[in-house]
Amino acid sequence: MSTITQNRYAASTPMVLFLLVAAFVGLAASGAYAFYQLMAQGHAAFNTNSLGMMWGLPIVTYDFFLLSSTGLVMLSSAWTVFRIEAFEPIARRTLWLAIAALLGAVLGLMIELGSPLKALYLIPFSFQTSAPLFWKVWGVIVYVIALAILVFSWLLKGRQALPSKRVALVALLAAIYITFVAGGVYGWLAMRPFWFGGEISLAFLVESLLGAVTFIIIFTHMAHAFNSSRFDPRTTALFAGQLGALFAVLLLAHAFFVVSRLVAGLWSNADGMQVWHLFWSQPTFQAQLWLGIAIPFVLMVSPSLRKVPMLQLIAAALSVVGLFAARYDFVIGGQMVPLFKGSWAHGLLHYFPSATEWAVLGMAICLANLINALGEKFLDLDA
């Protein structure tokens, strides 16, 4: 190992240790609270209800982390499958982040389910072939197997090893498939106009890649103690060049999907679309548009600005928060209009996450960060 590399790792080690400890303590604290509430109250600890608001913050958490995971695998495939040399420096970290995000997603989902252990075998072996979730779970099974093989055959063998193109291709195809079906879970529901649309799967694909780009920028900076001078020169060139440009393109595509659906919702008189009028009037939605999309796009579309590492990090942080907010609005907004208005609920349904649901989000974040920090400490993830 060169002196420069030794210095870089020596400087980043305290940050990795801090992340390990902070993530472990956060996971223990949030987990203890969440499990105490669930043992005492059961599913009543969540603010969902039987009037139609059945999916809350834990499902938002699950969707966000799962799509981030599939997007990270797609991003890593630039090297693992297509052997694009410019993306080699981030490929190992990107794949490990995909695993960390996947575990965060699974944790959020398992806690939300009433009988998670039963779901592990009843969903894939129920053969309910008309249900999108049946096909999604089988896609996740193939995805997990492919990622496990890549970990043992590539990541654990150090930087000199090369990933198997065939296994990486299976992981890529599984990631695309999961993203497509995840969009279909919402987009194929004709009785929910807020969700319904053939473009939802494509929007999910864009959002998954956007989440992947923000994750790799943030966690690469974090791995180097937020000092970009410690980056490998090829990583610096990638961030200032192809990855930064990709970031801008994905932000533009994401903005197009959000704004086009907003305009359609404000114009339409279809029952279910009135939710867009509520969103448009909320300061949080305006902040999502301007802080989560517009400002990061301005920073990334300018070649001179995106070459400034700190500005790129700020853009990634704003974008990932905006992306999570967009996922929250999408999942919750689609349930705000009851399917049978007047029969058991009048007007729009309202929802705000309980403390237990926020604790589940904290658990997912802390677990993903704990897994990532373990990889930074024990695996050779850097270029």
pLDDT single digits (tens) 212-222:
999 999 999 99
pLDDT score recorded for residue 10: 47
In this prediction the pTM is 0.93
Residue 7: inside a domain, yes or no? no
Residue 3: inside a domain, yes or no? no
As a whole number of angstroms, the distance between CA 134 and CA 123 comes to: 6
- Alpha helices per DSSP H over the chain: 3-41, 57-80, 88-112, 116-122, 132-153, 165-187, 200-223, 233-240, 242-267, 275-280, 283-289, 295-301, 303-306, 309-333, 355-378
Q: Which domain holds residue 39?
A: 14-378
Least confident of 43-52, 202-211, 246-255: 43-52
CB 63 within 8 A of CB 350: no
The phi-psi region of residue 270 (left if phi > 0; otherwise alpha if psi is between -120 and 50; otherwise beta) is beta
Residue 238: inside a domain, yes or no? yes
Residue 114: inside a domain, yes or no? yes
Residue 169 is encoded by which pair of tokens?
């291709």
CB 276 within 8 A of CB 265: yes
Find the mean pLDDT for residues 187-214.
94
Give 227's contacts (C-beta < 8 A, 6+ positions apart): 11
Q: What is the DSSP letter of 339?
A: T
Residue 9: inside a domain, yes or no? no
Tell me the average pLDDT of the chain. Answer: 92
As a whole number of angstroms, the distance between CA 103 and CA 198 comes to: 29
| Residue with more model confidence, 63 or 118 | 63
Closest CA to 271 of 328, 340, 332, 327: 340
Residue 190: inside a domain, yes or no? yes
Residue 61 is encoded by which pair of tokens?
């958490």
Residue 290: inside a domain, yes or no? yes
Number of domains within the chain:
1
pLDDT score recorded for residue 40: 94
Give 294's contacts (C-beta < 8 A, 6+ positions apart): 255
Question: How many residues does the structure list for the chain?
Answer: 383
Task: Quick: pLDDT tens for 352-361.
Answer: 999 999 999 9
- Percent of the chain exceeding pLDDT 90 equals 77
Examine the pLDDT at 369 and tell me if it is beyond 90. yes
Instruction: Identify the top-confidence range among 81-90, 117-126, 156-165, 221-230.
Output: 81-90
Task: Quick: pLDDT tens for 25-69.
Answer: 999 999 999 999 999 999 899 999 888 899 999 999 999 999 999
Residue 332: inside a domain, yes or no? yes
pLDDT score recorded for residue 342: 59
Task: Quick: pLDDT tens for 272-295.
Answer: 899 999 999 999 999 999 999 999
CATH code for the domain of 270: 1.20.1630.10
Handedness of CA 333, 246, 216, 78 (dihedral sign): positive
Residue 243 is encoded by which pair of tokens?
């990855």
Query: Among all chains, which residue has been given the structure tokens 């996450």?
Result: 353
CB 329 within 8 A of CB 285: yes
